[in-house]
Amino acid sequence: MTERKPPGTSWETWVEAQIRVAREQGAFDNLPGAGKPLPYLGQEYDPDRWVKQLVQREQISILPPSLELLRKVEKELAAIEKLDDEATVRRRVSALNVEIATVNATVLEGPPTRLSTLDVDQVVARWRRTRSANPSGSSPVSRHPQSDTKR
């Protein structure tokens, strides 16, 4: 945080001194985009360009909560298929179920949710089938097939 402007110093002098110190300390070295042309140079003027860039950069969703939940569940289920540990699969599905239940109980705007909580055992069974269809050397299922019968 910067200190207060000393009394008797002009704003311009004080600001210039801060910039000079920051430059000497390397605060402006290796900034992203340094030496590159502006990405929107030569494009038609768009007054909402900064909003579109913010939404893209921060990955902000403007979907209603129920649709955002559907998108999140799809992404999470795709990510779960790539996991190597059944305990992690169960933990992530349980966390997803908590979020589904919360959205179902609290969201009032947008389209109604049509998603119920996931059956953890069904997701794990599908995960096992995926793992056995595409065995890899790091998969616990392919290394320890007897562990499937105990759970």
Residue 131 is predicted with a pLDDT of 85
Query: Could you tell me the pTM of the whole model?
Result: 0.53
Q: How far apart are CA 68 and CA 37, in angstroms?
A: 35
In tens, the pLDDT along 42-94 reads 889 889 988 988 988 898 877 888 888 898 999 999 999 898 889 999 999 99
Rounded mean pLDDT of 116-134?
A: 89
Q: How far apart are CA 127 and CA 120, in angstroms?
A: 10
Distance of CA 56 to CAs 59, 64, 71, 80, 116, Å?
5, 17, 16, 25, 30
